[in-house]
Structure 1
Amino acid sequence: MKKALLAVAFTVSATFSFAQGKASTKPSLQLVRNATLILEYGGHKILVDPMLSAKGAIESWGGVERNPTVDLKMPVAEITKDLDLVLVTHTHADHFDEAASKLLPKSIELINQPADKDFFTKEGFTNATALEDNRTWQNLSIHRVEAQHGTGEILKMMGKTSGYVLKAKNQPTIYVVGDAIWTEEIKKNIKTFQPDYIIVNSGGAAVKGYEQSPILMEEVQTMALIKESGKAKVIAVHMDALDHCRTTRASLRKKADELKISRKKLLIPQDGETIAL
């Protein structure tokens, strides 16, 4: 009897310890490459904008070289293992490529913008949700917000893009801006959601023939966002991986240093690097 009671006590203790460990897991962000992120958030592993192709597998967009221009720093199996959710801001190949469509389980929970509903149906994803505004998923609150992928004629070519704001109890609020230029709408979103972290695609990308109309924030626009970011730390990604991105980690840091923006305020991770949130 004594042994049985001890066994039960150990089981309860072990279960409690595991639950405590699970609950106390700290959130983190890992930059895989470009805008592909792994978020450990609210006890879930979330993959954002998976571009999983090998170096050079996709056509050139800037007339320089094929994309992506660098290899992944980790095995694809490590990226896709034990995923709970995939978030897709839009379906350009640098955010959801053919490799991702083939490698991800078709039954994976996936949240996308309404403009991409037919795309994911065609690709055979059976558990994809086109998010109009916001929803509760598990213990998370997920809000979709608009993003503007350029101006004028180039915006018509780029089509619809979105961002997401993630909230959860005892977790920092995260604003994934998505592919966007700096706009009043983003400024309003920052004021509305008061994020603790803003993830911004700062590659300064431009389509060949439209070099004067960037489709992503570059150095100057990223600094404008930082000026309006309030308490948030800004994490800049989408650099040094595609041939049409003209802003580099080095040029972005140089501009930040000129304006005396601290490295605690603006974080610029390397591929494969993990940031504790």
Structure 2
Amino acid sequence: MKLTQIRNATLKLEYAGTRFLIDPMLSDKESWPGFTGTARSHLRNPMVELPLPIADLLDVDAIIVTHTHLDHWDEAAQQQIAKDSMIYTQNDSDADLIRSQGFSNVNVLSDTNVIAGIKVVKTDGQHGSDEAYAIPEVAERLGDACGLVFSHSTEKTLYIAGDTIWVKPFEESLFTHKPDVIVLNIGFANVDGIGAIIMGKQDALRTIEALPSATLVASHMEAINHCLLSRSELRNFAAENGIDKNLLVPEDGETLMF
């Protein structure tokens, strides 16, 4: 398995001979405004440039979009990705949206899928607190976001948790699939008056306590205005709590091999 942290939640994954691009955000630095009503909304997004040429990122067999928020599927991705690319989405609504943008080979993930001989399980999460989802307009804005579990006889099991806080479906996924490698979107993105809508550093500790055999990979950091947890803060927290051997905090463009 080769896993490259591109930027924000964008990952390139080489797994059992198949290359995936996950949650492509391909815009140039500072192309669009910060998200209104979120922390540090005066900052423009993305906050950093892509670390690799777009042509390298698009040299893949399939693309998976866990949800269609702008920082996971932006206008640049819609323009740069070939319209006949193999794309997988979490649900019919996202598939319809992407088809409306001119893409002709869009597939909806089932609960369990086989892609090029690789088992891919779609998992649930929750993109914010119960209190946030109790507010209709906030619930509509947050929407749904899925996670992904990859497994194959020749590879370690990989769980990409997606945009979620710690909720029962995440915990159940840990114990059901017992992944060897877990990617956590851990930038602690905050919405004004609502709080965190993805995980933070305490969730890294809690995950390792729940599944101490796993290796965690930190993603979704330092690229979008409302992500408040920095890599340096996370590394310091990991060292202070004795989890630094379980937690990898890659820089943008860095490739990890498992």
State TM-score, norm by structure 2: 0.92
Which among 34, 37, 48 is matched to residue 8 of structure 2? 34
The Cα of 1:153 is off from its aligned counterpart by 5.2
Matching residue of 1:132: 110
Matching residue of 2:208: 226
CA distance in 1, matches of 2:2, 2:256: 6
Which among 167, 175, 179 is matched to residue 151 of structure 2? 167
8 Å contact from structure 2 (residues 33, 41) kept in 1:
no
Which among 105, 118, 127 is matched to residue 82 of structure 2? 105
The answer on 1:55 being equivalent to 2:29 is yes
Unaligned runs of 5+ in 1: 1-26
The structure whose residues are more often helix, as a share, is 1
Which among 241, 245, 251 is matched to residue 270 of structure 1? 251
Matching residue of 1:203: 187
The answer on 1:253 being equivalent to 2:235 is yes
State TM-score, norm by structure 1: 0.86
CA distance in 2, matches of 1:96, 1:223: 29
Instruction: Render the CA deviation track for 1:219-255: whole Å, top value 9, x for unaligned.
Output: 1122212211242100011111111001111111121
Instruction: Render the CA deviation track for 1:101-138: whole Å, top value 9, x for unaligned.
Output: 11111111111111412111211221111113111111
Which among 234, 237, 242 is matched to residue 219 of structure 2? 237
Matching residue of 2:69: 92
Using CA pairs below 8 Å that are at least 6 residues apart, which structure has the higher relative contact order? 2
Matching residue of 1:17: none
Matching residue of 2:136: none
The Cα of 1:66 is off from its aligned counterpart by 0.5
8 Å contact from structure 1 (residues 182, 225) kept in 2:
no
For residues 181-196 of structure 1, the aligned pairs below 5 Å read 181-196=165-180
8 Å contact from structure 1 (residues 190, 229) kept in 2:
yes
Query: C-alpha root-mean-square deviation of aligned residues, in Å?
Result: 1.3
CA distance in 2, matches of 1:132, 1:117: 13
Matching residue of 1:177: 161
Instruction: Render the CA deviation track for 1:187-229: whole Å, top value 9, x for unaligned.
Output: 110111111100000000012x22x520011111222122112
Q: Which amino acid aligns with 1:269?
A: P
Matched position secondary structure for 1:120: helix
Matched position secondary structure for 1:147: coil
CA distance in 1, matches of 2:101, 2:152: 30
8 Å contact from structure 2 (residues 162, 185) kept in 1:
yes
Matched position secondary structure for 1:164: strand
Q: Which structure has the larger Rg?
A: 1
Matched position secondary structure for 1:38: strand
Identity fraction in percent: 36
The answer on 1:79 being equivalent to 2:76 is no
Q: Which amino acid aligns with 2:252?
A: D
